[in-house]
Amino acid sequence: MAKSQEMHRARMFFGQLEHGKDLFDELKEFTTKHGVRMGLVFAIGAVQKACIGYYNQQKKEYQFQTIDKPMEITSLLGNISMKDDEAMVHAHVTLADEDGNVVGGHLAEGTIVFACEFTVQVIEGNLLRREHDETTGLSLWKM
């Protein structure tokens, strides 16, 4: 059965990221600056290039690919929770090229902003903490 816990919405931010900055690093810095320890992240916009990860379930490790071309951020969806007493941003992106073809994956450092509008919904409740999960090799929520 699915495990869950009830949370409550708190503050909400709307913002935009600076041209030429690293998308992942900027979201991380935003959460640190505002003391966000749990939340939801949404964004749309465009990138100059991207680095996205795919988790190889056999090898239990991420494989990263760099896509060196301008693309639309058709969707960025993520969450913020605690890992090793630090807030961690975990986000996935779907990106579209000029022909409308999409690629997607785990957002990694190396994704450079062209323009980006983001929303962070701060959540309050029992802090969600990530711990190493033997079965998947991932850091998953301890519930």
Instruction: List residues binding Zn ion (CB under 5 A).
Output: 106
Q: Judged by CB, which is closer to Zn ion: 44, or 77? A: 77
37 versus 106: smaller Cβ distance to Zn ion: 106
**Burial (CB count <10 Å: 0-12, 13-18, 19+), residue 4:** exposed
Residue nearest to Zn ion (CB): 106
Task: Report the residue number, 140 or 143, with the smaller CB distance to Zn ion.
Answer: 140
Backbone angles phi, psi at 5, to 5 degrees: -145, 150
Q: Tokens 């969707």 identify what position?
A: 75
User: What are the C-alpha distances in Å from 139 to residues 21, 110, 136?
Assistant: 27, 21, 8
- Least Å distance, CB 121 to Zn ion, is 19
Instruction: Kindly tell me which of 28 and 106 has the beta carbon lying closer to Zn ion.
Output: 106
CB of 140 to Zn ion, least distance (A): 11
Beta-carbon contacts of residue 124 (< 8 Å; ≥ 6 apart): 7, 8, 9, 10, 38
Question: What minimum distance in Å lies between the beta carbon of 16 and Zn ion?
Answer: 24
For the CA atoms of the chain, what is the radius of gyration? 15
Residue 90 C-beta: closest distance to Zn ion, Å:
6
